[in-house]
Structures are given as structure tokens and as C-alpha cells.
Amino acid sequence: CDKIENIREEFLKLKKEKNAVLMAHFYQEDDIQDIADFVGDSLALAQYASKTDADIIIVAGVHFMGETAKILSPEKTVLIPDLNAGCSLADSCPPDEFEEFIKNYPEHKVITYVNTSAKIKALSDVVVTSTNAKAIVDSFDKEEKLIFGPDRNLGNYINGITGREMVLWNGACHVHEKFSLEKILDLKKEHPDAKLLAHPECKKPLLMVADHVGSTAALLKYSFTDNANKFIVATESGILHQMRIKSPNKTFIPAPPNDSTCACNDCNFMRLNTMEKLYNALRYSWPSVEVEESIRVKAVKPIERMLDISE
């Protein structure tokens, strides 16, 4: 405990000395969220990275979040604590295959979720997050033909609420697809007063029984603005930390996955980040996120388009 406390203090000291900021996604461990300069969803992290005047941005999240920050701020050093912190959803969309796929639809505009590699963003007309996906899809003319990738569940959900028939890439997140509908329905019976909150990366049958569907930021907001006092939360369990901070008197129950041993559902990539790795990354300026300039100049356009629409 003392050791962790010392590392935390050293990290904060070094952060000040080096004019660095720490931004953390809602899926990070509580202790990392607690010392971050900024905690947010994917959209808010991209907005923060585009505006900060720090020299170094430390991204406590996964690789695509670091890449997005680097694409927006190429002159800054962007550090991530663990290079292995990837994303199964981003991995479900290999750039070569996606490039071939979109060639089949030459008249379609390409909309991609931010959970992708820089190369996929470079092939896109606009990037979206789960916070702004509906608004950005709605910003296209009704006649416009659209491709949406890589998340089939989010794409399906957005098709449903916008009345579009976007062509979908067949990708998914292993964390959100693992929730057990059966166990969640049992939990609902046990807690009839609880509302079910679900991230749109979950499968359709779960979304159909949810009381509210939204991005991490939207679910958090709903949890402290709605009158209910109890919530079952179907997204990565890191979000419960901010929910409990915002509503200390409410009850939050993590939705269970379908493997029998776990009571909640964590993203193994997000959870690779530790206080020690944060400290080492800042001390040695490694690992840094780099994006080839020829890719970056193409990838920055659809991200900036998203930020413009989302302001």
C-alpha cells in the first residue's frame, strides 16, 4: 500500500515537472480515475486531447484512444502505459479487408466508430463515437448510401433508431457481447425496482429489454438524473466508480457475463494499465504512440469532421 502511495505521489510530481496531463477513460481502475486530470468517454477524451496545451498527454485507456490523441496533436508526446492495451473491436476490422469491403460499395459514404486503427480512420469519411453516432448519421441526407463499421451491434442499433439501412461491417467487442441476458433477466426479477442501463455495443436482445441505451457518458448522466435508486449496468464495470461518486446513495449492480466465475465484466485491455506503468511511461517517455504522417493527414479529416459536428 505504501509503495503504491509513493508511486502515486512520484507520478503526480513528475507530471507537474514535465507539463503532462493524464486523461482516463471511464473503464480504468478507480485509483487511476481518481488522479486523472480528466475522465471521460471516447468523444470527451478526443475533445480534451485536441484542446490541451500540455506538452505530454498520458492516455489511460486503450491504443486507439492514444492514436486519436496523437492524430489530433502530432506535435505533442502521447504516452500509453501498456502497448498491449488494444481493443477486440478495433482488431475485428483489419485495414486490408476493410479496404476491399468498401470497394464493393463505391457510392457509399464510410462512417467508422472511433474504436478502430488509424488506417481505418484514414479510409473513412467521418468518425463517430457512441455519444454522437445518431447525430452524425442523421446529418447525412436520407438518400445518401452509408457503410458503418466496425461494430455490428452499434450499427444495428443506429439503423433501428434512424430508420436507415446502413451496410454493416461484422465486428464486435468481446466484453459487450459476453453479457448474459438470462442472468440479467434473473437480476431484474430479484430487483424489480432496478433500471437496466446498456451500452449499444451489447447484443440486440439485451438492448431491447434495457431501460436506457447509451455511451458511457450518457449512461452516467442517466444514472444521476433519473429518479430510480437502483441500476443494473451492462457495460464495462469501471463506469460504476463515477456512478457511485455522482450518486452515493444509489445502488449500482454490474451486469454479469455468461461465464460462471465472474460477477462483473471487465475489459482485459483497459485493465492492463496500472499506477506503476503510468509512472514508468512518464519517467522514460515510453511507450509513445506514433502515427505515420501519410496516414495521419488522412485520418485527421474524419476525426475533425466529427469534432465539428459534435461541438
**Which positions lie near ligand 13P, rule CB under 6 A?**
26, 41-42, 115, 129-130, 173, 201, 215-216
Closest approach, Cβ 2 to ligand SF4, in A, equals 32
Q: Are 258 and 228 in contact (CB under 8 A)?
A: no
Residue 88 site contact among ligand SF4, ligand 13P, none (CB < 5 to 8 Å, cut-off depends on kind): ligand SF4
Closer to ligand SF4 at the Cβ: 124 or 129? 129
Residue 42 site contact among ligand 13P, ligand SF4, none (CB < 5 to 8 Å, cut-off depends on kind): ligand 13P
Q: Are 202 and 176 in contact (CB under 8 A)?
A: yes
Residue 32 interacts with ligand SF4 (CB under 6 A): yes or no = no
**Residue 264, marked binder:** no
Residues 256-295 that bind ligand SF4 (CB under 6 A): 267, 269-270
CA torsion sign, 8 to 10 to 16 to 22? negative
Q: Are 147 and 156 in contact (CB under 8 A)?
A: no
Strands 20-25 and 56-60: parallel
The count of residues interacting with ligand SF4 (CB under 6 A) is 11
Select from 102, 104, 143, 94 the least CA-distant residue to 125: 102
- Please name the residue ranges forming H helices in 81-180: 88-91, 95-103, 118-122, 133-138, 152-162
E strands in 56-96 = 56-60, 77-79
Closer to ligand SF4 at the Cβ: 8 or 254? 254
Residues 83-102 that bind ligand SF4 (CB under 6 A): 87-89
**Residue 267, marked binder:** yes
Write the CB contacts of 75 (distance below 8 Å, at least 6 apart in sequence): none
**Residue 115, marked binder:** yes
Select from 76, 28, 55 the least CA-distant residue to 278: 28
Residue 206 interacts with ligand SF4 (CB under 6 A): yes or no = no
Closer to ligand SF4 at the Cβ: 54 or 124? 124
Residue 243 interacts with ligand SF4 (CB under 6 A): yes or no = no
Binding residues: 25, 42, 87, 113-115, 130, 173, 199-201, 216, 267
- Residues near ligand SF4 (CB under 6 A): 62, 87-89, 115, 173, 175, 236, 267, 269-270
